[in-house]
Structure 1
């Protein structure tokens, strides 16, 4: 069998098939698989770490399947894309369930504070943040190629990452305050939004990922 070129990590959480299908749409010639096999993940050329759900459940399921080390190793040595909770799990601690994350990067995962969730007219904003929001890029990056600044991406989340190191931030979005919605360091790029649900801008980001040579 041809070498696995993109592994989509399956730890029992989230709609993985929509991510895999979007990847196959932008890269039909690549060998892309959803997998919960740590050896397959280790052998893959690129790794996508998606997910939906609560942080405590995601961490537990990751450990139950013996995939914690596979994820950590993948962040060290190959192009790695985290999506939604696949971004949040990279940090030290989450307020959701008061649980530790994988601690690859210093920082907290915080709940949107109720007292700040007001629009410009004083009206209450809903949590979770659900729908389309603009993404303000923090600087040039290969994964932003051919994506205009302030393009809209699709979100569904009640928590956001607050990195200790501001240099990690690759983009911000406002709801209603600015928060980090994408991080980048070396071979790792991770986003709070769902590129697989974000129309052409999302597909372009995935296209950029499968061609990325960090």
Structure 2
């Protein structure tokens, strides 16, 4: 590629990184706002999270369009091609993370009587770990930091531990309080969405690691 073409490509690749970063920031914000709406039982805030997911979806479409354009017109090779493909795949996973946050927000109206159910107080801490994982994996993508990406998977165990603890507590609560089964089931659904966000962050880390190194992380069970 000549000097002008290289500059255009670099500018477009920078735009792709920026769109992914914007998506990630919105997804991270959606997680926090959904959990805050849940704890405060703020239906207006929950509705804003649901509505805001449309922007995440739109950004995914922009990333896909730009990535296809880059591949078709610039024919990137090796490291650059891996980064373009990773950006497109990461955007797809971030869209799913946004969907998980939206799913949580949609349950806020259904848990108006759940304040006395103890696991509700644990969900913000679980969400905090998942949100931190998302933040760091996006930093790893921006910096092409393979070591940081590799560390993300280990932290998913904490999210899984939260989920397993909440699951056991809610099952016990439902057995002892049959009248509150519906409320507890909604909290379990919310915890499952947070657990899935942790899984998605680990998937993101694998993509970032490959983009940075050209090598695969150690095989593990993947989620769709």
> What is the TM-score normalised by the length of structure 1?
0.33
> What is the TM-score normalised by the length of structure 2?
0.32
Q: Quick check: which one's helix share is greater?
A: 2
Q: Which has the larger radius of gyration?
A: 2
Instruction: Compare relative contact order (CA 8 Å, sep 6+) and give the higher one, 1 or 2.
Output: 2
Q: Quick check: which one's strand share is greater?
A: 1
